[in-house]
Structure 1
């Protein structure tokens, strides 16, 4: 976890820490804060950012692939 954490951008670090703290449940925020040596407020901010991204519209549609398996 720590190796991955060091490769992330600041924004992604906040979000990743939030996800991991949530997975751990009670006491997870303090544990992850100490593990990654970051302020608990930073983790809370990452969680808020994750909550905001859930509300984004998902109207983007992928284009159909062309190739032998699709009859092209």
Structure 2
């Protein structure tokens, strides 16, 4: 997989209705892996658990901001 990226964006002005973006970067090519409603720790963990072990083992690094839900999920 390469580098797994996690970030949240607000779907509405005023910081409401967040979604979490999961991305992958290999050889300077970025691909969107998925978008998950909200940015809760439990949602992040659920997505990370469904990644097949073959792909999970190929993650070389994780890039995320300082949101506590991401740091505690990894």
Question: Given the two structures, how large is their TM-score scaled by the length of structure 1?
Answer: 0.30
Larger relative contact order, structure 1 or 2 (CA cutoff 8 Å, min sep 6) = 2
Structure with the higher fraction of residues in helix conformation: 1
Structure with the higher fraction of residues in strand conformation: 2
Whose radius of gyration is greater, 1 or 2? 1
